[in-house]
Amino acid sequence: MRRTVENDCRTNDSADMEHSLDRMARTLVESGQYRVSSRLEPRAEYHPPDSSPKLVAAVVDVETTGTNPDCDKIIELGICLFQYDRETGRIYKVLGSWEWFEDPGFSIPAEITNITGIINEMVAGQCIDDQAVNDLLKRVVLLIAHNASFDRRFVEKRLPAFAQKYWACSRFGY
């Protein structure tokens, strides 16, 4: 019985905390001085499957040691694959997400750590798994990045298989 009561208290405490946080967020927004973002709860499916043909796309994001792909390096690569319908643009299912850190071979500049939160200890001895990335890319027909012209220059230099794909940009719309 004791365990049940403790679990019930924790459940009530969590519910009370969530309600309290919602109230605080609403108060901040209603003041007109704040915007409050809430955590997006990931979903495996966005629409139920139907008979339309599905393609696979990937959202790609990189963090780098700077802005020049000739001398700066990727320190983090993230990829999220999803199924979609090319005709409607409807997203059906998230197929998974992957993340790799990579040691650039030199210290991460302080301004990059300030922007990304990535510190030298996080990348020390780490390497992007080229084979895993290439295997994922075999499934993909479209790559999407928020600033595709930036990300594309880095990933195509580091992993040439990225150059064989169609790209879209969520920032500039190309």
- Please name which of 97, 104, 143 lies closest in space to residue 122, comparing C-alpha atoms: 104
- Please name which of 128, 131, 118 lies closest in space to residue 154, comparing C-alpha atoms: 128
Tens of pLDDT, residues 161-174: 999 999 999 987 65
What residue segments make up the domains of the chain, in order of their start?
Answer: 1-39, 55-169
pLDDT in the model for residue 12: 62
Average pLDDT over residues 25-46: 88
Superfamily of domain 55-169: Ribonuclease H-like superfamily/Ribonuclease H (3.30.420.10)
pLDDT in the model for residue 173: 64
pLDDT in the model for residue 91: 93
Tens of pLDDT, residues 66-120: 999 999 999 999 999 999 999 998 999 999 999 999 999 999 999 999 999 999 9
Tens of pLDDT, residues 44-76: 888 888 998 999 999 999 999 999 999 999 999
| Three-class HEC string of 46-93 | CCCCCCCCCEEEEEEEEEECCCCCCCCCEEEEEEEEEEECCCCCCEEE
For residue 10, is pLDDT > 50?
no
Provide the whole-model pTM: 0.78
